[in-house]
Amino acid sequence: MQKFFFILATLLLITLTATSCGVETPPQPTATATRTTASTAISTTIPPTTAAAETAVPPTTPPLPTETTPPTATAVAEETAVATPPITAPVNAIIVDHTSVALFEQIPEEYLQAAAALHMLFIDRSVGANISDGLSCLAFDSDEAAPSHCKRYTHTVPAYSSDPSEVNWARSGGYNRDNWSYDFWEEGGGCNQWYDKVGCFINMMATRINQYDVVSFQLSYLAVEETSDILAQPGGFFADNADRYDVYDLAAYEAQYPDKVFIYWTTSLARGIGSQIATDFNDQMRQYAIANSKPLFDVADILSHAPDGSPCYDNRDGIAYDNGNNSENYADDGINQLAICPHYTTETDGGHLGSVSVGKIRVAKAFWVLMAEIAGWQPNGD
């Protein structure tokens, strides 16, 4: 009998021990189910602003927002509201042209910081990429610290070389353009003509306009060739067309976003464009900006004036030009059409700003003036 009770007690002890061990180590399937449930819960409760922050930070040069998945409009709006001070469209027109470049050195520190805090996007063709490069150059502490493509002031034709001071700058930490993005027009053939641009701009902004405080696009010199119908009435950019996008559609889109600032641009220019169409279109753009109190970045005026302020004209002037690889000697047509200065490009007919640095640096400095004024700086005190 004693042996029977001893065996019974032993079996009871083993059972209790096994039960106790089971509490310490749950079965593996239960553990797996718990982890899966926890993971699912976390992924569905991440705040939208946290997810947006990873994709909404604009990259540096050249930023291409289309390479990342655009955040949702709600998420970006919430993040922007925290990160960016309130901004309102200017009451009066802001005009930045070749006379504004000298103001770059006068921008107060508080407005440099305020301008840098604004999230900005501009859309353009290849000259826009040159301008974006110029902004990235200024992001270095000084011209001495910047790459060589940022500070070339000598031209293949010595008569068009500039003073070294044209590519000088210095500021601890540089002029930060991390929040300023550039994008090329969408590929695929639907954005090639001037009358495609407003529609393409609206489409490209559809999923990301709330990511930015300041937005814009530029028409290139290809839009203002002598054969362009951009000034047609009806049918042109400044006409109210039923079958083409125009400035009226841009204004209607802008009106939907009163908390955004839309910059208007004059066109880029080339050595061969210079044209009457370019001159007239850019004059109309200036008049439109003034009449409607818009900020205007007058790139055409900046590029068509040499560093000393003298105007530059097209290459149909009877003056031979040879850049070492290509040359031209067009007959003088007796008409002076404002065109990009040869100081800013080495091309015979085009207008890119890459081979010499002076053009893109001057435009980039002027853009800083524009953004500082949008941020509230009043250089004239009015």
pLDDT at 14: 36
Residue 347 forms part of a structural domain: yes
What contacts 343, CB < 8 A, 6 or more positions away? Answer: 155, 160, 161, 162, 306, 307, 312, 356, 358, 359
d(C-alpha 121, C-alpha 181), whole Å: 5
Residue 3 forms part of a structural domain: no
pLDDT at 87: 77
Residue 53 forms part of a structural domain: no
Residue range of the domain that includes 170: 60-374
pLDDT tens digits along 118-148: 999 999 999 999 999 999 999 999 999 999 9
Q: Pick the more confident residue, 190 or 359.
A: 359
pLDDT tens digits along 296-344: 999 999 999 999 999 999 999 999 999 999 999 999 999 999 999 999 9
Residue 30 forms part of a structural domain: no
pLDDT tens digits along 61-97: 333 222 222 322 223 333 333 345 567 778 899 999 9
Say which CATH number the domain at 78 has: 3.40.50
pLDDT at 362: 99
Q: What is the mean pLDDT of residues 232-254?
A: 98
Residue 155 forms part of a structural domain: yes
d(C-alpha 54, C-alpha 77), whole Å: 14
Count how many domains the chain has.
1
Phi, psi angle pair for 218, to nearest 5° = -120, 140
Residue 286 forms part of a structural domain: yes
pLDDT at 183: 98
Residue 26 forms part of a structural domain: no
Residue 9 forms part of a structural domain: no
Q: What is the mean pLDDT of residues 37-61?
A: 29
Residue 138: closest CA among 184, 96, 105: 105
